[in-house]
Structure 1
């Protein structure tokens, strides 16, 4: 199992990396999956925008883009890009702690790899419930 954290075009260092890895593994296990390799890339708005345009043909800012590289059922592999600027802005707009918002977005990417979507209201509500579960789990570890 490999969970890696990188920064591109931002000065950012994730706090509690070991705890985060344990947490992500527990989320996957709760969904009957195992992590083979996850790469979290924390980046700037502009970096993520360029990925959104190049790979998804979307000319919009976003907080997260997830690429699923999984080849085996129940074995997770993927690259998850997160805009640190967007996380900070969202935490202020939602009046939540920045670390809590970061946990929400980190888990959001993993839930996408686990097959959860968020396009419809029903899907978005289920995703939010999963994120809340993950945040509570992180606080328990």
Structure 2
């Protein structure tokens, strides 16, 4: 059974590659729930960050868990931050987007920042 994965992103984003990677992560985590991935700009991430986290300014990724039986939640990724970070770390943009999406999904699955490095290595 495949997870329902919805990706809202600009045309230039490799949605199919990202969707397949998300599917692999969810399968490895034995999660059958759906997830929404929204790739947006710093403006939206700053608004969400202030409204829901009470923090000013944009961030690279935000996760919002849902209390539904078949839906894990939503992950918002800043494409602006993904571009900045890919240049800063010398990574391909699509790899940085993938890293941020996986980071957000792991939060939805209940992992914290202490557990994150080993989990990210597993999926990247």
Q: Is the 8 Å Cα contact of residues 104 and 132 (structure 1) preserved in structure 2?
A: no
TM-score by length of 2: 0.86
TM-score (norm 1): 0.77
Runs of 4+ in 1 over 3 A off after TM superposition: none
- The corresponding residue for 2:32 is 34
**Offset, 1:58:** 0.9
Task: State the Cα RMSD in Å.
Answer: 1.8
Report what 1:110 is aligned to. Answer: 105
Task: Indicate the SS of the match to 2:104.
Answer: helix
Cα displacement (A) at 1:61: 2.1
The answer on whether the counterparts of 1:40 and 1:81 sit within 8 Å (CA) in structure 2 is yes
Q: Which residue of 1 aligns with 2:85?
A: 90
The CA distance in 1 between the partners of 2:86 and 2:105, in whole Å, is 20
- Say if 2:38 and 2:75, in contact at 8 Å, map to a contact too: yes
CA distance in 1, matches of 2:107, 2:68: 15
Q: Which residue of 1 is the match for residue 116 of structure 2?
A: 127
Query: Which stretches in structure 2 are left out of the alignment for 5+ residues?
Result: none
Structure 1 unaligned regions, length at least 5: 136-141
CA distance in structure 2 between the aligned counterparts of 1:12 and 1:45, rounded to whole angstroms: 18
Q: Tell me how many residue pairs correspond in the alignment.
A: 122
CA distance in 1, matches of 2:112, 2:71: 16
Does residue 45 of structure 2 align to residue 48 of structure 1? yes
Contact 1:104 1:131 in 2 (8 A): yes
